[in-house]
Chains A and B, each alone.
Chain A
């Protein structure tokens, strides 16, 4: 059941095999059975207190985090939630009095069991790091030393904290591995980190963190780089171990859905400050800060009932934060007072607090009462619609290896098909094939409007290239940093159409309007735009060609949740209005209903399930689909 068994010979991660089921009960049993030590006394007592933490950039002194105050009890998980530039990552390492080059801790107190970490001597600090308080990093493929065997790296945390005798250490090592569901035999322990899968690497990190039974654990988005399935496994393990050992855990994340199932209490950060704190129930049922409410409304809803609403604008980076409440420019509740002074800590109870001048009005209604329902539009039967792209019996190769097998998909006008799968499932490869961007061998048929489609985009007639447009995943990589937005959007216009200068300019302005961007952006360069704006430009570039098929390849994966919601909303309405045939590639099953009518689930190069979105999600036939559904975190 663990990913160790699905490792390929050269040690690469392929995710759990498509037919296997996760068994949360087994994880609980394993952890619970092995947590044979009696639960420590003092469960429920406050273990960690952070007071007024203030972190700045070094050497400029610009604020990154300010007035961060929170407390965590033994056995409790506090989720620290924030989007990019919120300062949550910087706050995480400061709990161990550590800052990367470029930042320094300017003030505040961090108390563990009554002692202030920030006031400790280097020797005391070394004693508590890894001993009393430990850290689980975001990306273990970078945090595990590539030159050392994992046994060395695991042992040394025991040695550094003088854990018992040699014999006792060896025994503890075996116990550590079993707790995180990893093999404990010599052969496995002798491996180097690159010979482990991503999930296994992360488990090693967790094992190290729990090795000395610390009082506090800081987890810095440990599942961000993992597949949904592996993520679910790892979260199970974390939940069990923190509960079993009564550890106070700080779980830093950008994903509210993940934290909804794991955390007891949640703190929301925006622009370096904590804007709301409370129990999970309080925040989800009746949040009192506008940002929290908006954030909740932007979380993808797997049932497709709730409309995804994004937050216009973007979060200010350090040094660009406005005076007063930093959320003011994007806040629908804002009044003059908001940009003058920063609100104090107030709230409905001592445990549930927020920093907003109008928190009472904001929290007047329950979240459930204010939910916007999605406009589903009229349903049109697929059979009546013309076929745009037809893929039959497709086998796709990457150099000599066959990576896609027997693919059959059809794209219709006016319809959006979602391609869902984890990394390595082949969804991007398929999308690239249709776009003509896959330079390796392909067997089978791809037809566009009834005519065979050449494999390579260069061999395709101009009209075809114009009709099929591709939007890339990373907004940071898909726009040429040396060109202005005008030059970027003009390229398809110059290639596909014969327009005068004025007509070109007009077309560009129209394209920008379609993606809700102002014409003044034409003179800017990509690095002057936010991630969301860049992605809109990429979409505008695609639309400028007046396509009939739009392929979106994980176009929101690099974006914050709130920005993602806005882009999904935009794409859905564009698709409806323009009658586009859309292929939407994503790894997030929860997004599917918000944008598409059909879905194809892929695993290891095959389509395991294909049909109408409602049918597939409500009554999945394939085991893999069922597993994906159960593993996808939802609120």
Chain B
């Protein structure tokens, strides 16, 4: 409703560094953000860490000296030539269990994040572009989901159904959805105010096409950042649930579970606790570095394309 009053010279175009001229090839906001983020030292470290730990999780078992359930030495024996990191509370080889223990956490965390993203982005697009009453009602429902801290929501449903892995993935994903929806909705709202969306509406392009071809491609950057953040939280939540005993059950090898199983002997044999703690810790720091890099890239890109 309010009409713009000669805004041409309000933008301080003089202080923008000369924009890097992009090559005339097909590029998307997605790719642009990632390339920009890659330029930062932090992001490179984050990606390195992430790649290393994922590699460890996937290929670790190939290098394991024993099987995860093999009795190697008496429980809580310290490091020796037979077991480089000693044994755990049942006498299994800690090194082996560490090498086997990452797969579940990472796969589940990724799955939960993807579910949350799919759900959240869809809801965000709908609420950001649809009519007021649809927006309001969906947001109220999401508020209810938001009222539960993520882990409490997961535990609530675990108490009903039991410690099933699919349930954990689903609940963590669902608990991410409203938070992602908020970000997606904000981005959608902003983009849908822009004139090129109006132009498409005036031409008569269908709402679905507009959402998918006009709006969504312009919101991928903040969503990319959200993905990084949510992955970090997913890893934390799923490891925590395992730690609490609601994830993989013994005798499976799982980092979260290992921490809980072996903390009784922490003063005597810290390794079966220390290693998984270290690995989970580094992994989450890695993903957070990536998310942070993407976040900074986003700010830089917004400045470049904001019209100066």
Q: Is A in direct contact with B (CB under 8 Å) within the complex?
A: yes
- Interface assignment of B160: CB less than 8 Å from any CB of chain A: no
Question: Contacting chain A: which of B94-102, B170-178, B191-199, B228-236?
Answer: B191-199
Residues of chain B with a CB closer than 8 A to A428's CB:
3
Quick one: which of A435, A472, A545, A557 contacts B6, CB cutoff 8 A?
A557
Interface residues in B104-131 (C-beta closer than 8 Å to A): none
**With A225-B6, A227-B5, A557-B4 in contact, do A527 and B203 touch (Cβ < 8 Å)?**
no
A398 to B9, CA, bound (A): 29
A254 touches B3 (CB 8 A): no
Asked if B18 contacts A62 (CB within 8 A), the reply is yes
Tell me which of B3, B15, B21, B26 contacts A528 (CB under 8 A). Answer: B21
The proximity string for A residues 416-431 relative to B, scoring 1 for CB distances below 8 Å and 0 otherwise, is: 0000000110011100
Q: Of residues 464 to 488 in A, which have CB atoms within 8 Å of B's CB atoms? A: 465, 469-470, 472-482, 484, 488
**Nearest-neighbor residue (CB-CB) of A473 within chain B:** B4
Q: Given that A437-B198, A495-B205 are contacting pairs, would A429 and B218 also be in contact in the complex, using a CB cutoff of 8 Å? A: no
Chain B nearest Cβ from A292, distance in angstroms: 18
A524 x B217 contact (CB < 8 A): no
- Among residues of B, the one whose C-beta sits closest to the C-beta of A563 is B8
Q: Say yes or no for A153: interface residue by CB 8 A criterion.
A: no
A50 within 8 A of B: no
Proximity string of chain B (184-220) to chain A, C-beta cutoff 8 Å, 1 when within and 0 when not? 0000000000111011111111000000001001100
A403 at the interface (CB under 8 A from B): yes
Task: Return chain B residues, CB-CB under 8 Å to A317.
Answer: 13-14, 16, 18
- Among B2, B10, B198, B307, the residue within 8 A (CB) of A476 is B307
In the assembled complex, how far is the CB of residue A166 from the closest CB belonging to chain B, in whole angstroms? 38
Interface residues of B in 1-45 (CB under 8 A from A): 1-19, 21-22, 24, 26-29
User: A89–B12 contact, CB under 8 A?
Assistant: yes
CA distance A90 to B16 in the complex (A): 12
Cβ–Cβ contact B22 & A458, under 8 A: no
From known contacts A458-B204, A491-B200, infer whether A481 and B305 are also in contact, taking CB-CB under 8 Å: yes
Taking CB atoms, residues of chain B closer than 8 Å to A482 are 28-29, 217-218
Residues A481 and B202 in contact, CB atoms below 8 Å apart:
no
Tell me the smallest distance from the CB of B202 to a CB of chain A, in Å. 5
**B15–A472 touching, CB < 8 Å:** no
- Point out which of B3, B10, B17, B18 has the most chain A C-beta atoms below 10 A from its C-beta: B3
Given contacts A482-B28, A482-B217, contact A458 B201 (CB under 8 A): yes
A587 within 8 A of B: yes
Q: Is the interface of A mostly helix, strand, loop or mixed?
A: loop
Per-position binary interface string of chain A over residues 302-338, scored 1 when its CB falls under 8 Å from any chain B CB and 0 otherwise: 0000000000000001111000000000000000000
Residue count of chain A within 8 Å CB distance of chain B = 74
Q: Is A560 an interface residue (CB 8 A)?
A: yes
A60–B196 Cα distance when bound, in Å, is 34
The answer for the CA separation of A106 and B4 in the assembled complex, in Å, is 36
Please, which residues of chain A bring their CB within 8 A of the CB of B4?
Answer: 423, 473-474, 554, 557
CA distance A225 to B201 in the complex (A): 30
Whether A139 is near chain B, meaning CB under 8 Å from some CB there, is yes
CA distance A307 to B29 in the complex (A): 43
A51 → B minimal CB distance (Å)? 21
Kindly state whether residue B136 has any CB partner on chain A within 8 Å.
Answer: no
Residue in B9, B28, B29 whose beta carbon sits within 8 Å of that of A221 in the complex: B9
Shortest CB-to-CB span from A200 to chain B, Å, is: 15
Q: Which of B22, B27, B201 has the most CB of A within 10 A?
A: B201
Q: Are B204 and A477 in contact (CB under 8 A)?
A: no
- Measured between beta carbons, the chain A residues less than 8 angstroms from B8 are 84, 254, 531, 557-560
Most chain A CB within 10 A, of B4, B200, B305, is at B4
Q: How far is the CB of B15 from chain A (nearest CB, A)?
A: 4
Report A-chain residues with C-beta under 8 Å of the C-beta of B9. Answer: 84, 221, 224, 254
Q: How far is the CB of B27 from chain A (nearest CB, A)?
A: 8
B267 within 8 A of A: no
A87-B14, A102-B15, A103-B15 are known contacts. Are A465 and B5 too (CB-CB below 8 A)?
Answer: no
Q: Which residue of B lies closest to A60 (CB)?
A: B17
User: From A398, which residue of chain B is reached at the shortest CB distance?
Assistant: B1
**Residue B306, interface by CB 8 Å:** yes
Residues on A with beta carbons closer than 8 Å to the beta carbon of B304: 527
Chain A residues positioned under 8 Å from B16 (CB to CB): 317
Known contacts A139-B10, A482-B218; A436/B202 CB under 8 A: yes
A427 adjacent to B14 (CB under 8 Å):
no
Distance of A305 Cα from B3 Cα, bound (Å): 30
Taken together as a complex, chains A and B put the C-alpha atoms of A12 and B117 apart, in Å, by: 41
Does any Cβ of B come within 8 Å of A525's Cβ?
A: yes
Across the interface, do A541 and B217 meet the contact criterion of CB distance under 8 Å? no
B82 to chain A, nearest CB (A): 57
Cross-chain contact of A427 among B3, B217, B218 (Cβ < 8 A):
B3
Q: Is A46 on the interface with B (CB-CB < 8 A)?
A: no
Give A316's nearest chain B residue, CB to CB: B18
The CA of A457 and the CA of B28, in the complex, are separated in Å by 30
- Distance to closest chain B CB from A3 (angstroms): 14
Give the chain A neighbours of B21 by CB distance below 8 A. Answer: 528
Question: Which residues of chain A come closer than 8 Å to B202, judged between CB atoms?
Answer: 435-437, 457, 465, 469-470
What distance in Å separates the Cβ of A12 from its nearest Cβ neighbour in chain B? 9
A477, B15: Cβ atoms closer than 8 Å: no
- Residues 95-138 of A, flagged 1 when their CB comes within 8 A of B and 0 if not, give 00000101100000000000000000000000000000000001
In the bound complex, residues from chain A placing their C-beta under 8 Å from that of B10 are 138-139, 224-225
Residue of A nearest to B206 (CB): A458
Distance A429 CA – B10 CA, assembled complex (angstroms) = 24
Q: A57-B15, A319-B18, A476-B307 are in contact. Are A462 and B204 (CB under 8 A)?
A: yes
Residues of B within 8 A of A362 (CB): none
CB distance from A156 to the nearest CB of B (A): 26
CB neighbours (8 Å) of A559 from chain B are 8
Which residues of B lie under 8 Å from residue A87 when comparing CB positions? 14
What separation, in Å, do the CA atoms of A531 and B9 have in the docked complex? 12
**CB of A28 within 8 A of chain B?**
no
- For window 254-308 of B, CB contacts with A under 8 Å fall at 304-307
Q: Which of A87, A462, A480 has the most CB atoms of chain B within a 10 A radius of its CB?
A: A480
Q: Which residue of A lies closest to B27 (CB)?
A: A525
Residues of B within 8 A of A457 (CB): 201-202, 204
Contacts of B201 in A (CB 8 A): 437, 457-458
Are B5 and A477 in contact, with the CB atoms below 8 A? no
Q: Which residues of B contact A100 (CB under 8 A)?
A: 12, 15
29 residue pairs of the A-B complex, CB under 8 angstroms, read A64-B15, A85-B14, A87-B14, A138-B10, A224-B9, A226-B5, A254-B8, A254-B9, A317-B14, A317-B16, A403-B1, A435-B202, A437-B202, A465-B203, A465-B204, A469-B202, A473-B4, A476-B306, A478-B196, A482-B29, A491-B205, A496-B203, A524-B24, A525-B27, A527-B305, A527-B307, A541-B199, A557-B6, A560-B8
Known interface pairs A87-B14, A103-B15, A491-B205; 8 further A-B residue pairs with C-beta atoms within 8 A, sorted by A's residue number? A90-B15, A436-B202, A476-B307, A478-B198, A481-B305, A482-B28, A492-B203, A558-B7
| In the A-B complex, the 6 residue pairs with the closest CB atoms | A476-B307, A319-B18, A478-B195, A472-B195, A482-B217, A477-B195
Which A residues are within 8 Å of any B CB, using their own CB? 57, 60, 62, 64, 84-87, 89-90, 100, 102-103, 138-139, 198, 221, 224-227, 254, 317-320, 398, 403, 423-424, 427-429, 435-437, 457-458, 460, 462, 465, 469-470, 472-482, 484, 488, 491-492, 495-496, 523-525, 527-528, 531, 541, 545, 554, 557-560, 587
